[in-house]
């Protein structure tokens, strides 16, 4: 089992007291699922919470991870990869329609797909389960 996690600390103003709110936001893979989480705590008042979810992270989390750690890019290891296993893997892993999977497969076979490191690791694992080889490459400049 592959364990991949990535996180970042964010600060903002507490909506309850106006103090400093510290939020730990992150993305991880657990039991084969892409997941995300936020833990927040005010330094001044008792305001605190924890929230988690399954699937793509909210935009705020994705953007914070990309800003802190940079994007990761994944592409097929060979241009001759058979299309059917690629489409099946994309549909299963990303819960896509056939049309959406075809568009994503074209990107994956070309310049590659970019996202957070955790998102690309999750996608690579889904493709590996269908015997589709991938490679991590430097993201576009």
Domain residue ranges of the chain, discontinuous segments joined by +: 5-69, 72-137
Residue range 42-83, pLDDT digits in tens: 999 999 999 999 998 999 999 999 999 999 999 999 888 899
pLDDT at residue number 4: 81
- Token pair recorded at residue 23: 């939020």
Q: Read off φ and ψ for residue 71, nearest 5 degrees.
A: -80, 160
Residue range 20-35, pLDDT digits in tens: 999 999 999 998 899 9
CB 62 within 8 A of CB 105: no
The fraction of the chain above a pLDDT of 90, given in percent, is 84
pLDDT at residue number 81: 85
CB 29 within 8 A of CB 37: no
Q: Work out the burial of residue 34: count CB atoms within 10 Å of its CB; fewer than 13 is exposed, 13-18 middle, 19 or more buried.
A: buried
Residue 116: pLDDT above 90?
Answer: yes
- Token pair recorded at residue 50: 């924890």
Q: Which is it for strands 113-115 and 134-137: parallel, antiparallel or unpaired?
A: unpaired
CB 7 within 8 A of CB 118: no
pLDDT at residue number 80: 84
Find tokens 């929230």 and name the residue: 51
DSSP string, 74-96: EEES-TT--HHHHHHHHHHHH--
Which CATH number, 3.40.50.20, 3.30.1390.10, 3.40.50.2300, 3.55.50.30, labels domain 72-137?
Answer: 3.30.1390.10
- The predicted model gives 100-119 an average pLDDT of 94
CB 100 within 8 A of CB 40: no
Residue 137: pLDDT above 90?
Answer: no
């Amino acid at each position: 089992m592959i364990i991949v996690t990535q996180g970042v600390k964010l600060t903002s103003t507490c909506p309850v007291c106006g103090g400093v709110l510290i939020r730990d936001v992150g993305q991880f893979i657990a039991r084969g699922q892409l997941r995300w989480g936020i833990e927040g705590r005010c330094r001044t008042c008792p305001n605190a919470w924890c929230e988690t979810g399954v699937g793509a992270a909210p935009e705020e989390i994705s953007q914070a991870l990309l800003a802190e750690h940079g994007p990761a890019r994944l592409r097929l290891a060979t241009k001759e990869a058979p299309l059917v296993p690629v489409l099946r893997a994309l549909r299963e892993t990303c819960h896509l329609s056939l049309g959406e999977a075809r568009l994503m497969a074209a990107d994956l076979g070309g310049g590659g797909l970019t996202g957070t490191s955790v998102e690309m690791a999750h996608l690579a694992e889904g493709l590996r389960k269908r015997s589709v080889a991938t490679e991590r490459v430097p993201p576009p400049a």
